[in-house]
Structure 1
Amino acid sequence: MNEIIQSWPIIVTLIGTGMLAGLLAGLFGVGGGIVIVPALYFLLQNFGVSASSAMTIATATSLATIVPTAISTIRAHYTKGNVNLPLVKYWSGFILLFSVLGSMAAQELRGNALTIMFGVIALLVSLNMFFRANASSMFFQLPSKIGQGFLASLVGFLSVMIGIGGGTIGVPLLTAFNVKTHIAVGTAAVFGLLIALPGVITLLIIGSTPADAPFGTFGLVNLPSFFIIIPLTMLFSPIGAALGAKLNQKQLKRAFSIVLFITSFRMLLLAIGA
Structure 2
Amino acid sequence: MAVGFNVSELLELAILLVAVGALSGFLAGVFGIGGGAILVPVFYECFRLAGVPLEVRMPLCVGTSLAIIIPTSIRSYRAHHARGAVDMEVVRIWWLPVLTGVLTGSVIARYAPERLFKIVFVMVAFSAAARLLSAKVDFKLGDDLPKGPLMRIYGYVVGLLSTLMGIGGGLFANILMTLYGRSIHQGVATSAALAVLVSIPGALGYIYAGWPVAAHYPDVLALQLPFAIGYVSLIGAALVMPTSLLVAPLGVSAAHAMSKRTLERAFGVYLLIAGSRFAISLM
TM-score of the pair, normalised by structure 2: 0.86
1:268 match: 279
Match for residue 151 of structure 2 among 148, 151, 165: 148
Of 230, 234, 240 in structure 1, the residue corresponding to residue 245 of structure 2 is 234
Counterparts of 1:149 and 1:24, CA distance in 2: 27
1:122 and 2:133 are equivalent in the alignment = no
Contact 2:29–2:249 (Cα < 8 Å) also in 1 = yes
**Counterparts of 1:193-232 in structure 2 under 5 Å?**
193-208=196-211, 209=213, 211=217, 212-213=220-221, 214-232=225-243
Q: What is the Cα deviation at residue 242 of structure 1?
A: 2.6
CA shift at 1:158, angstroms? 0.7
Residues in 2 aligned to 1:256 and 1:94: alpha-carbon distance in whole angstroms: 25
**Deviation readout 1:103-158 (Å, 9 max, x if unpaired):** 11121101111111111112122222322696564420111311101100100111
Structure 2: distance between partners of 1:144 and 1:104:
28
Give the direction of change, closer, same or farther, for the CA distance of 1:118–1:134 in structure 2 (3 Å limit). Answer: same
Considering only aligned residues, what root-mean-square deviation do their CA atoms show, in Å?
A: 2.4
2:178 is equivalent to residue 178 of structure 1: no
- Quick one: distance in 2 between partners of 1:159 and 1:258? 19
SS of match in other structure, 2:173: helix
Is 1:25 aligned to residue 28 of structure 2? yes
Structure 1's 19 and 134: CA in aligned 2 closer, same or farther, altered over 3 A? farther
CA distance in 1, matches of 2:146, 2:260: 28
Indicate the larger mover: 126-135 or 108-117. Answer: 126-135
Give aligned-pair identity as a percent.
28
- How far apart in 2 are the matches of 1:266 and 1:192? 23
Q: Distance between the aligned counterparts of 1:122 and 1:146, measured in 2?
A: 25
Name the amino acid aligned to 1:222: S
Residue 51 of structure 1 contacts residue 112 of structure 1 at CA under 8 Å; is this kept in 2? Answer: no
For structure 2, the 5+ residue unaligned runs are: none
Q: Who is 2:16 aligned against? A: 13
**TM-score, normalization: structure 1?**
0.89
Equivalent residue, structure 2, for 1:34: 37
Note the residue ranges of structure 1 that are not aligned, 5 or more in a row.
none
Deviations 1:45-70 (A, max 9, x none): 12212333221111000110111111
Give the Cα separation in 1 of the matches to 2:171 and 2:261.
Answer: 17
Stretch deviating more after TM superposition (103-112 or 256-265)? 256-265
2:161 match = 158
| Cα 1:166–1:256 shift into 2, 3 Å | closer
The question of whether the paired residues in 2 share the 8 Å contact of 1:129 and 1:254 is answered with yes
Kindly tell me: are residues 189 and 241 of structure 1, through their superposed partners in 2, closer, same or farther at Cα, counting changes over 3 Å? closer
1:170 counterpart letter in structure 2 = A
After superposition, the Cα gap between the structure-2 partners of 1:245 and 1:156, relative to the gap in structure 1 and judged at 3 Å, is closer
C-alpha displacement of 1:166: 1.9
Change (3 A) 1:262 1:67: closer
Cα separation, 2, equivalents of 1:64 and 1:222: 9
> In the comparison of the two structures, how many residue pairs are matched?
272
Which residue identity lines up with residue 120 of structure 2 in the other structure? M
Tell me if structure 2 keeps the 8 A contact 1:34–1:168: no
Contact 2:183 2:260 survives alignment (8 Å): no
Aligned match for 1:94, one of 97, 108, 117: 97
Counterpart secondary structure, 1:83: coil
